[in-house]
Structure 1
Amino acid sequence: MQLKYQYSIVAILGILNVNFLIAQQEQSSSGEVDGYKKRVLENTEIDFLSSYYSQDGNNAAVSGGTGTEELTDFTPTIVVSIPLNVDDVLTIDAGVSAYTSASSSNINPFDGAGQADPFTASSGASRGDTWANINGTYSHSSDDRNTIWTADASLASEYDYFSIGFGGSFTKLFNEKNTELTLHTKIYLDTWKPIYPIELRPFGESGAGLNDGLFQQNSITGNPNYNPKFTEFTDKGRNSYTLGLNFSQILSERLQGSLALDVVSQNGLLSTPFQRVYFADVADSFIQNFQLADAIEQLPDTRLKIAVGGRLNYYLNETFVLRGYYRYYSDDWGIQSHTASIEMPIKLGSKFTLYPSYRYYTQTAADYFAGYEMHRSNQQYYTSDYDLSKFHANQFGFGVNYTDIFTNFNIWSLHLKSIDLRYLYYKRNSGLNSGLVSFGVNFIIP
């Protein structure tokens, strides 16, 4: 369920760190004047962030493209930015993601009190888990603030995988800081602990097949000669390598634009071990109301992703700003996508800003995707994960930001800088819909 609940983490960090990033860029643009060099970050800043994400749908990949996709996720995060000296800043962010998922509970649909059913959550242990991560970033700015480089490292862990990441970036400003060029890279080294659907485990290397207790204690209806196509994964690693280039240009007093190119190469175990697949040419077998898997998702062990996009921000007046964004994405699994969004911050006086937004997304299906009972057993690759299907989606958002210009409000030694509250509503034409509420508070420690 990583794609679903990590959406909330990405959204909240992207939304609620906007003020911090803008402030840091403004401060880092000041060079040395009359022998005095302004600090990149004047004081330690702390962001307390949280989000609540909820989704529903009827195309769960855990149960082969059918069944409930109901999921909730709560994500508290803390980000601390510490000025080490006039040129260097250390940023540490740590968070957890506690989720409850009806679909992932059906990895073992037979461990609950009721009848197993793909549209009903099991009450067993697999219904929820916690994902935790910590990331540290060190940044250094040159004396004239025209050169910035960063180095970062991260750790993340969940019940079925562990991830180590490290990377860095190099930024150069030209043309009196009107032009900015950034090269960045990131490497993730992940290790899986494969968790397979409960009915397939007896058919693994050391299993007992139909003599296992699951089949001895429960009657198989439909096809009683259940014989899945299943082999345990031998490769339990997944590596991801990212290289990106960003170009930003102030075009006029009112107009600013940027371009971005990102290339991601992945290799290793790219299939999700607990996602079932059902074949059209295999007779169905059931225990209670739950159809037993014919196989698990099988995808290539390499993937190359390329994305190119651009932003254009136009300052209309003291009240309105238009922010436009477009991205084109393509990979060698056959997916092509387009993303377009627009946001119009509305400034109400010196303290409040409103953020209405709209985002449209569309993609083609992966070469290896087909829905419930639409694959055939002689295929090499197959998945019924609707994240890899053809679909389009609309997202509507609204937010409000409060800025305490003079940091007059204090809690102990913490001086309030800003408060941010946002809501996003997302809907796919496949039936999946979700809502995300995110909240953040930024404090300064003088």
Structure 2
Amino acid sequence: MKRIYLTAAALMAMLHSYAQSSLPDTGYTARKLKVEEVNLVSSYYHQDGNNAAVTGGIGSEKLTDISNSIDVKLIRHDRKNRKHSYLLDVGIDHYTSASSDMIDLKANSSASHADTRIYPSLGWTMENEAKGSTIGAGVSASKEFDYLSLGGNVMFAQKTKNRMGEFTAKLQVYLDQVSLVTPIELRASQTREHEHYPTASRNTFAGSFSYSQIINERLQVMFLADVVQQHGYLSLPFHRVYFTDGSVHQEQLPSNRFKLPIGFRGSYFIGDRFILRGYYRYYTDNWGVHAHTAELEVPVKISPFFSVSPFYRYYQQSAAKYFAGYQTHQAGEDYYTSNYDLSKFTSQFIGAGIHFTPPGGVFGIKQLNTLELRYGHYYRSTKMNANIISLNLKFK
């Protein structure tokens, strides 16, 4: 983890040097590209449970994930005084998974027990402050052993005349390729994990819409809605499903899925020290899943430079119509899964964060102006639990 911090610091210095270097003299010094901020985020996640989809809804769900990402934001102003922002983000996750290791039930330790995911993205926005409008676009990619995803997006935002409200629309597309790594006993031949696998496509098209409004100096609200359409191979090829007769099958799900989440977010400032941040979302899809999410976070300012933010989230979900547990599905069903992510359950997520912004910089480092540390504990009614801790360092 120390290595990525050193790399980021070196990158910060290089970009700062570039921003300060001599550029052609145009008479518009404000148009020079400069670094606005650099964020380093590291997290550690661990979960455990006994409903692994790889083994048909039973077996260990133990998983550990270590994630590191760095994003660099650069800005400049053009001749019309429009603000251009460029965001480069690179993330690397490494995980070990007991359930993935069971793709081959006879292997003591197979290549699938661990993997590394790399996900870079590049974004651009242009804000016209005079008109109150913003446009933007971005591209992204994600690569791991059995999955490749390429994405793109465009966005538009417009503020109201009094600048108290803003409408935002974002269109996204993800074109994915899934490697068909099937359970070893269901393969036509004894293909090993290092050999070539056929692939199938999975495409996602999404529209995200929001409207934010400043009601007064204490209250701000936001309304959110997403429309998501997925098409292609939506199963996971290494998920087993055991029928009532004891036979084993490969998970089979429809090739289309429509999702519709709608939500509301609000922030209320109580004096100078307390903020109430509330969030509610309703979700429905054509697989029969209906869900409610409610969240409350209460940042408390201990001093002008230090705050603590306890939070709590409650989630309730109905089961997809294609879900059934181990050895519960019956012959003749067109679609079937024993993935407990599609089961009926409730979950709770509780934790707290600390936010530190000393005027002289964190640890006396002037450019390191913010340190944020968050911890959360997650518990699901299916007896799966998890813990996550994350660290965010911001350089400006």
Short-chain TM bin: 0.7 to 0.9
Structure 1 Cα separation of the partners of residues 173 and 364 of structure 2: 40
- Where does residue 374 of structure 1 map in the other structure? 328
Kindly report structure 1 stretches of 4+ aligned residues shifted beyond 6 Å. 36-42
- Where does residue 433 of structure 1 map in the other structure? 385
Q: Relative to structure 1, is the Cα distance of residues 138 and 236 closer, same or farther in structure 2, using a 3 angstrom cutoff?
A: same
Identity %: 40
Asked if 1:364 corresponds to 2:318, the answer is yes
Asked if 1:91 corresponds to 2:87, the answer is yes
Asked if 1:328 corresponds to 2:324, the answer is no
Whether the 8 Å contact between 1:40 and 1:88 is mirrored in structure 2 is no
Asked if 1:152 corresponds to 2:138, the answer is yes
Structure 2 Cα separation of the partners of residues 111 and 255 of structure 1: 57
Structure 1 Cα separation of the partners of residues 302 and 74 of structure 2: 31
Q: Relative to structure 1, is the Cα distance of residues 387 and 213 closer, same or farther in structure 2, using a 3 angstrom cutoff?
A: closer
**Larger strand share, 1 or 2:** 2
Whether the 8 Å contact between 2:116 and 2:145 is mirrored in structure 1 is yes
Whether the 8 Å contact between 1:57 and 1:70 is mirrored in structure 2 is yes
Whether the 8 Å contact between 2:40 and 2:69 is mirrored in structure 1 is yes
Structure 2 Cα separation of the partners of residues 269 and 84 of structure 1: 42
Structure 1 Cα separation of the partners of residues 252 and 332 of structure 2: 12
Consecutive unaligned residues in structure 2, runs of 5 or more: 1-27
Give the TM-score of the pair, scaled to structure 1.
0.77
Structure 2 Cα separation of the partners of residues 356 and 320 of structure 1: 11
> 1:39 deviation in Å?
9.0
Q: CA RMSD in A?
A: 2.3
Render the CA deviation track for 1:144-172: whole Å, top value 9, x for unaligned: 26111110000110111111100011010
Structure 1 Cα separation of the partners of residues 33 and 359 of structure 2: 16
1:14-413 mapped onto 2 (5 Å cutoff): 43-85=35-77, 87-112=83-108, 123-144=109-130, 146-201=132-187, 204=188, 207=189, 236-280=200-244, 282-283=245-246, 294-405=248-359, 407=361
Give the TM-score of the pair, scaled to structure 2.
0.87
SS in 1 for 2:55: coil
Structure 1 Cα separation of the partners of residues 285 and 148 of structure 2: 25
Whether the 8 Å contact between 1:37 and 1:143 is mirrored in structure 2 is no
Whether the 8 Å contact between 1:266 and 1:304 is mirrored in structure 2 is yes
Whether the 8 Å contact between 1:182 and 1:247 is mirrored in structure 2 is yes
Structure 2 Cα separation of the partners of residues 41 and 409 of structure 1: 28
Q: Relative to structure 1, is the Cα distance of residues 247 and 374 closer, same or farther in structure 2, using a 3 angstrom cutoff?
A: same
Render the CA deviation track for 1:68-102: whole Å, top value 9, x for unaligned: 00000000000100113361010010111100000
Whether the 8 Å contact between 2:375 and 2:389 is mirrored in structure 1 is yes
Structure 2 Cα separation of the partners of residues 139 and 377 of structure 1: 53
SS in 2 for 1:199: helix
Render the CA deviation track for 1:341-396: whole Å, top value 9, x for unaligned: 00000011111010100000000000000000000121100000000000000110
Structure 2 Cα separation of the partners of residues 418 and 194 of structure 1: 44
Structure 2 Cα separation of the partners of residues 99 and 404 of structure 1: 34
Render the CA deviation track for 1:194-231: whole Å, top value 9, x for unaligned: 10111111xx3xx3xxxx699xxxxxxxxxxxxxxxxx
Structure 1 Cα separation of the partners of residues 279 and 314 of structure 2: 10
> 1:315 deviation in Å?
0.3
